[in-house]
Structure 1
Amino acid sequence: MYVTNILSNNVSTFDIEPSGRLALRDELTSAGGAPRSVVVTPDGRFAYTANGVTPMTSDDFNSISRYRITAGGNLVPLTPPATANGDPDALAVAPNGRTLYVVNRGTDTVLPFRVGADGQLVRLSDPVPTGAENARGIALTPDGRFLFVSHGDPLGTQQDWLTRFAVGGDGTLAPMGRRVPIGSAGGAMAVTPDGRFLYVPCSASQEVFGFRIGPDGELTSVPGRRFDAPDVPIAAVATPDGRHLFVAAGGLVISTSTKVSAYRIRTNGALEHLANVDAGRAPVSLTPTPDGRHLYVANLNSWDVSGFRIGRQGQLREIAGSPFPTGGRQPAFQSIVIRPNQGPAAAFTARAAATGRPTTFDATASTDPDGRIARYDWDFGDGTVLPDGGPKPAHVYRDTGTFQVRLAVTDDEGCTTLFVYNGTSALCTGSPAALATRTIVIPRELG
């Protein structure tokens, strides 16, 4: 996991232990100046930080730093950084990993870059106006077809706006229709992994707006539309299963809030408030783990990360040892990201036997590039399934014939066939490779 520190101009790297505890690596990585948002490409090979204006100054680094991620997870800075378009604040990497989008708060523009094979960034077009003042948050749909930008001054009181863009096949942006009204000071948005709902926290009006995303990118309000949120709600994130939403409510340097709010996402997209829990001082950015078991929250004013276990009903319980110091100073807007879990690949062989005798299977050739296979689900093609049947099951066929045997594998972080994307970065790069099918022929037993 990576956390930016805006005042110390660096990035902290944590190892996530099986218990959920965080272990900070000793050496922090230089970010080149005032880093806020951080994203990682879906393949886990490159990371980017948005380096904007240093707080309480007019110094604008106006750059996007690039990093190569080693096999062990270390960040290696790449030079030179890319030039942005005035106080870059928020980043999103497209689900296919080919495009990086930068929201420039200083000029109210979005700037698209093509991501090269070596992590190089090349401008795809001129900066695109966002269509409203005080551009802030960004989110893409999991299919990569639509992009949303929230707007708002965290210290303002006026109504603000959400604007929409269609994403072309080459990653370029085309503005869509009229802007959509929200509350005051829109922040870091959440898209559910199924792409059905968008949630916009509004810090100055203390609410979260919910929208259904249509197949054409149109937004319609979910029942209830506006949902109360305490203090300064600045960032939202959905769990990988799309059942719960968490909101960080401390997005101002002057904030005294410690609250993280938990909501249940109903089937119609409405939010049911579950509880508020305490994190550190001024929680500002948050992310779940790819398996949905843990939530991590970066705290602006206590310079640390709070860790929670996520219960089946969305309840949050603090992890032993939390909060975990970053070693740097002041994580800020969209300052936390987890390296995407790379999906597994299924493979198996079969040794067919005659009816009445055990046919054996061997799936030990299945692989996971960043962990291990934790679950093997078998369908033997004759109406018999064997959930979590291990890598070497045996099955007795009662009838002769040709059968399609299917294996689905799941890795130790819960990743299988589904690609899980949270609006700015991937959490899990599941794919059809997690499924394998073989045809076997069962002969009649002789004698």
Structure 2
Amino acid sequence: MVHGATKRGSPLSLSRTWLRTTTAVVVALAALVVSPAQMGRSEPAADNRFLVTAATASMGISVQRVSADGTLIRVPGSPFPTGFGVLSLTVSADGSTVFVPHILEPAVSGYRLDRSGRLHKIPGAYQRFSGPPTAAQLTPDGKHLFVVVGGVPGHVESFAVSSSGALRPTGAPHVAVHGLSTIGQAAIDPDGRFLRVLTYVGNTMSSYAIGANGHLTPRGVSTVGPGPVAPAFSPDGRFLYTSDELTFSLSGFEVSDDGSLSRTPGSPYPTGGIPHGAIVTPDGKRLYVPNAIGVGTSVAGFRIHHDGRLTPLPHSPYPMPLGSLPGQIALHPDGRHMYVVDVATVRSTSSQVHTYVINADGSLRPSGAAPVDTGLLITDGPVVALTTVGGR
């Protein structure tokens, strides 16, 4: 673990093995070839808000329009075609640009999301790689894209993003990722100063300082729990949490001024199942994480204390419908609606989205809306984003 000197202020194993095996097989082929604090506030209706989801086992990106009342309607033409084997999706702050790595080709593609919710390929936004690209992350200002390429070890490549969305290699040296990064996942601190890369096999998190022109400088390696995925930050960047699948828990870290990490009190925190993509509410007071498999599939909710410590919310974890395998969460800006996207849905031919209402105490209840099919197979990894075109 890297410690900062200065702090700021049976069925279970078979099902999970199947999901991870699906991802591992695709990687191998590629290598060979809104917050609760806002409740009660009125918000203007937005017809340009969308839930965007990519997939690992089918060639497409699904787009659902988010209605003013929080219901979802699939955009005509969705899913939109892309390369096969997407494990990551990143969207610009203004909601207009989407990048996905697809590991079978292996390449990264960029798309323009218009106000009707349709995706259009961006000329010059296609880049190929020598190995499987498993993660892509845009800087908050949208000027640089970092791509994690799997290997033994893997590495990170950097690209400049033009105003049109076209990609150009920066020329900055590639940086190595510590450990085995065949299924590496990444996140960028909210202030845009550091890139973090998790290694699922190595149980480590490599940190890099982001410099001018996309240059990355290694800043140490932290030990996380076994099988880490989907790093999640608090909005102010003070805390970072990883979902440690193999220990049914979350690892918590406090981020120091210099970007170094130290464990939050009581970490790791049990989730009650195999955790996937955690998300923190915009006010930084609560964290939710889906348990794809456990004693019944569920979403666990936690209160975030001033020191980053997590304690369960009332009645957590919250059960999901029978036959669902929840993997990712998106929060509506109104602070009242949550969208839970399945890795896979046993009762449907494609992964489904379930809508929940967030109560005043942070607990969850079904909205009553019917689940919506994405049209995609296996939405594994951080492949879900709720975005507004124009950034509103």
Aligned mates of 1:333, 1:293 — CA distance in 2? 25
Q: Which moved more, 1:284-293 or 1:182-191?
A: 284-293
Which residue of the other structure, out of 133, 147, 158, is the alignment partner of 2:195? 147
- Superposition TM-score, scaled by structure 2 size: 0.79
Match 2:356 to one of 279, 287, 308: 308
The 2-side partners of 1:271 and 1:115 are apart by 37
Aligned-pair CA distance for 1:278: 2.8
Matches for 1:47-446 after TM superposition, within 5 Å: 47-52=98-103, 60-79=104-123, 81-106=126-151, 108-124=154-170, 125-134=172-181, 136-153=184-201, 160-177=203-220, 179-250=221-292, 258-274=297-313, 275-279=316-320, 281-302=324-345, 303-340=351-388, 342=390
Aligned equivalents of 1:322 and 1:35: distance in 2? 26
Q: 2: CA distance between counterparts of 1:91 and 1:340?
A: 20
More strand by share: 1
Following superposition, the deviation at residue 285 of structure 1 comes to 1.9
- Deviations 1:296-340 (CA, angstroms, capped at 9, x unpaired): 222112111122222232212222224211122222211211124
Q: Which has the higher helix share?
A: 2
Maintained 8 Å contact 2:86/2:101: yes
Q: Deviations over 1:93-150 (max 9, x none)?
A: 1111111122223452222211111111112234321112235221111110111111
SS of 1:36's partner is: coil
The one of 76, 97, 108 equivalent to 1:46 is 97
Pair 1:25-2:68 in alignment: no
- Structure label with greater radius of gyration: 1
State how far apart, in whole Å, the 2-side matches of 1:331 and 1:51 are.
13
Q: Any unmatched runs of 5+ in structure 2?
A: 1-50, 346-350
**CA distance 1:29–1:201, shift in 2 (3 Å):** same
CA–CA distance in 2 between the matches of 1:308 and 1:152?
30
Can you list the C-alpha shifts for 1:342-382, whole angstroms capped at 9, x where unaligned?
Answer: 56xxxxxxxxxxxxxxxxxxxxxxxxxx5xxxxxxxxxxxx
CA contact (8 A) 1:143 1:195 kept: yes
* Distance in 1 (alpha carbons) for counterparts of 2:310 and 2:343: 26
Aligned-residue RMSD, C-alpha? 2.0
Q: Percent identity at matched positions?
A: 28
* Contact persistence 2:96–2:390 (CA under 8 A): no
1:180-237 Cα shifts (integer Å, max 9, x gaps): 1111011001100011100011001111011110110011111112101222212211
Distance in 2, matches of 1:109 and 1:340, equals: 32
Relative to structure 2, which stretch is displaced further, 209-218 or 143-152? 143-152
**Aligned 8 A contact 2:96 2:389 in 1:** no
Contact 1:240 1:291 in 2 (8 A): no
- CA distance in 2 between counterparts of 1:295 and 1:77 reads 29
Aligned residues: 328
**In structure 1, what is the Cα distance between the partners aligned to 2:194 and 2:72?**
34
Residues 230 and 110 of structure 1: CA distance in aligned 2, closer, same or farther (over 3 Å): farther
Comparing 290-299 with 117-126, which one deviates more in the overlay? Answer: 290-299
Give the 3-state SS of the residue equivalent to 2:278 in structure 1.
Answer: strand
Q: Which has the higher contact order (CA 8 A, sep 6+)?
A: 2
Q: 1:8 aligns with which of 49, 58, 61?
A: 58
**Could you state the TM-score of these two structures normalised by the residue count of structure 1?**
0.69
The AA in structure 2 aligned to 1:34 is G
**Aligned equivalents of 1:87 and 1:42: distance in 2?**
26
C-alpha change, 1:243 and 1:213, in structure 2 (3 Å) is: same
Task: Name 2:21's counterpart in structure 1.
Answer: none
